[in-house]
Structure 1
Amino acid sequence: MCRNIRTLHNFEPPATKDEVHAAALQYVRKVSGSTHPSQANQEAFDRAVAEVAHATRHLLDALVTAAPPRDREVEAEKARARAAVRYGR
């Protein structure tokens, strides 16, 4: 599950709220071992996703780097090339 969490730092434009939420959701799914929590656990699950997303946003806002921002399209193309080599497409 966590393989879907992508690096969010140092991109132009910055990571969106949806990207941060998606990463938080994947993290909570991995830690809890559940992709769909029961009704009894839904509130705790949703609260954990919100808290992780909040902490992630604070982290991204606080990080500094001297490196130039990365381009999402260039990084996506690199990932496609790695996948082609890995999976033989």
Structure 2
Amino acid sequence: MGRLVLNHSSNIEGLIPILKRLALNINIKTITPAAISRVRGRSSKLIIRLSVKTLNGYKAIARKGKTAQEVFISTDLSKEELKQIIDIYNKK
């Protein structure tokens, strides 16, 4: 079971419950929500998508409305395996 690091006082609405369920996966070590920014486009519901590979895993971008937040996921899973797991939560 992974660990969810909560160092920010603010996160995108609805993101933390999804990350808590994602952290239950045995192959995920750590999930760290990071910088929040404003974006041009608009997303009606919360969507998480993988961005780039990092030293320990992957960076993902969570988007809802005009807000985006970086999420760092430390894991040994491949990009495709992690994408399949995240897609389960994107559909809910």
Specify if TM > 0.5. no
**Structure with greater contact order relative to length (CA < 8 Å, sep ≥ 6):** 1
TM-score, length of structure 2 as denominator length = 0.28
Q: Which has the higher helix share?
A: 1
Larger Rg belongs to? 1
Greater fraction of residues in strand? 2
